[in-house]
Amino acid sequence: MIDVFDNMLRHLFLANIDEITSESQVRFQPPDDTWRTYVSNLTVNGQPASALNVYLVDLRENRTLRTQERVRDLDRGLYGETPAPRWMDCHYVISAWSPATVTPTIEPSIDEHALIYKCIAVLMQSEPLIASQVYAPDPLPPGFPPILADAKLWTHMLPVDGFPKIAEFWGTFGATHPWRPMAYFIVALPVLLRRTIAGPMVTTRITEYRQPTSADPAEICIQIGGITTAAGQPVANAWVQLEDTLTTPLQVTTTDEQGHFTFSALQQGPFVLRVRVQGHNETTKAITVPSPRGNYDVQLI
């Protein structure tokens, strides 16, 4: 997910900053001596070119966005649960680099200041970052995570407190090199969690009612539930009628968005399910309540 966002940032700068015309001008490696050598030798179309160093310096969970929500789904009779994504704050620092050498007439810092200013302006102008808009009018890259396609990724640009460890940061990459201004920003990215199996779908519920002091047999009430599908997909808003074996209507309901239907307060015995929905033939299915296999699903044609 982080690598996808990195490439999204690179595309954003390529599309909106006139000095950035090649992917080689936006890199995510540490700004160390190897990077300095890289910039000093960087050319685009045979000409020296400036570059942006976009460095990920920290990762922290964003607990404000944490939720206990779960998405349930049904696959071949088994319910699965997928936890809502957790969110992590990715802390980036961006610096601009010119390959030019300081001379009495050349001041590379001026060009670097102009470039970092444009970088900040692009990020502020594009907030929130939405992938489908960043890549527009082109389509999203192949394999792009669907969860990021239209998600609003809010960034925290230039926090008032600044980057808290700027001295340690530049000191790590060599005491002989001076500090340079950095654009510090934070973006929250989702962390996708795996789907787990919650268990099979409950299709039959049997309840017994009796008086605690009575020897009479218990009164039994049964609730059943099933799914209406067509070509393996759930059918919503289907009309479902429960009938006895003489086709006498007993109960009527409609399926929900997942194709589920349920009937309650039933006694043991044979019944018929009749299903109608626009675009499909009327379908009937003979069932026994309770079903030995717990299967009351109806497949439409």
Indicate whether 88 and 134 sit together in one domain. Answer: yes
Model-level pTM?
0.68
Going residue by residue through the chain, which has 301 residues, state the pLDDT in tens, using 9 for 90 and above.
899 999 999 999 999 999 999 999 999 999 988 999 999 999 999 899 999 999 999 999 998 888 888 777 666 666 778 888 889 999 999 999 999 887 787 788 899 999 999 999 999 999 999 999 999 999 999 999 998 999 999 889 998 888 888 888 888 876 566 788 899 999 999 988 888 776 667 789 999 888 887 778 888 999 999 999 998 888 999 999 999 999 999 999 999 988 899 999 999 999 999 999 998 999 999 999 999 888 899 999 8
- Residue ending a domain, choose from 196, 227, 244: 196
Helix, coil or strand: residue 188: strand
Indicate whether 35 and 166 sit together in one domain. Answer: yes
Lookup: tokens for 215: 């020897």
Indicate whether 130 and 150 sit together in one domain. Answer: yes
pLDDT per position as a tens digit, 231-275: 888 899 999 999 999 999 999 999 998 889 999 999 999 999 999
Indicate whether 191 and 234 sit together in one domain. Answer: no
- Residue ending a domain, choose from 151, 167, 196: 196
Indicate whether 7 and 107 sit together in one domain. Answer: yes
Q: What is the DSSP string of 150-189?
A: S--B-EEES-TT--TTHHHHHHHT-TTSPP---EEEEEEE
Indicate whether 140 and 259 sit together in one domain. Answer: no
pLDDT of residue 66: 83
Q: Could you tell me the CATH number of the domain that includes residue 260?
A: 2.60.40.10
d(CA 140, CA 132): 7
Secondary element (H or E) of residue 201: none
Residue 93 lies in domain: 2-196
Instruction: Domain count for the chain, please give it.
Output: 2
- Residue ending a domain, choose from 169, 196, 223: 196
Secondary element (H or E) of residue 14: helix 2-16
Nearest to 203 by CA among 293, 268, 116, 121: 293
Tell me, what DSSP letter sits at residue 192? -
- Taking all residues of the chain, what is their mean pLDDT, rounded to a whole number? 89
